[in-house]
Amino acid sequence: MGGLGPWCWETTMSDVSNGPGWWQASDGKWYPPEQQPGAAPTPPPASSAPSPRPASSMGSFAFDMKRWSQVERITTIATLVLFISLFLPWFTYKFTYGSVSVDGLWHGWMYIVFILSLAIVVNMVAKAGFRQMPYTLPMPEERLLLFATSINLVLTVIAFLLKPGGIGFTGIGWGFGSFLGLIAAIIAAFPTIVPALQARRK
């Protein structure tokens, strides 16, 4: 096999041509095109697998309130007002030389309202900002809103009624924050509770 050199230690050969591109060496044998001296190596076949998706498919944040339904819009805004009201005066006590007040977190259980309200607002802001949510909720969003707003309403009503010092204690009145928080809790829960009650009756 003169003229082929060490290149042909491992070759595929034939006594006859097997198609276009096959060539005949000086030994009288036919070789495939890729074994011709000076031929470029055959590139590997292109993969048919789909290209990997980008690490983040939710896109950039772009706030759009139109992604909220009417119920979600009412609940979100009212819950935000409830959240803000927790830092306003809820109860005031007047005495001879002035007055003192405490905010809505005076009752320890109102921290539950604080956490739930914050979670509702953050979730709805994410829904309005991303086309695809960056996380998965453990249950349908409508049910979570129903539970969260209902708990907020119950705890807010109890906090409103139980003034510091007890129900019969005089001299302590309600502040602006308590009325604002109570109204906001009712408005936030109303659009979710009413449809649930109507569906249960049917």
For residue 52, pLDDT beyond 70:
no
Q: Is residue 59 part of a domain?
A: no
**60-66 long-range contacts, Cβ below 8 Å, gap at least 24?**
61/129, 61/130, 62/129, 63/125, 63/128, 63/129, 64/128, 64/129, 65/128
User: Between 90 and 45, where is the model more confident?
Assistant: 90
Distance between CA atoms of residues 49 and 46, nearest Å: 9
Q: How many domains does the chain have?
A: 1
Segments forming the whole domain that contains residue 149: 65-201
- Residue 144 in domain: yes
3 within some domain? no
What is the domain-level CATH number for residue 177?
Answer: 1.20.140
Question: Parallel, antiparallel, or unpaired for β 172-174 and 89-95?
Answer: antiparallel
User: What tens digit of pLDDT does each residue of 149-180 get?
Assistant: 999 999 999 999 998 876 556 678 899 999 99
Residue of 30 and 59 predicted with greater confidence: 30
Residue 25 lies in a domain: no
pLDDT of residue 5: 44
Is the residue at 140 inside a domain?
yes
Strand partners, 14: 30
Residue 193 falls inside a structural domain: yes
Residue 149 lies in a domain: yes
Question: pLDDT tens across 5-48, in order?
Answer: 444 444 567 776 677 777 777 777 777 777 777 666 656 555 55
pLDDT at res. 1:
44
Total-model pTM? 0.66
Q: Evaluate if residue 50 carries a pLDDT over 50.
A: no
- Whether 6 maps to a domain, the answer reads no
Average pLDDT, the chain: 81
Per residue in 100-135, pLDDT (tens digit) is 899 999 999 999 999 999 999 999 999 888 888 888
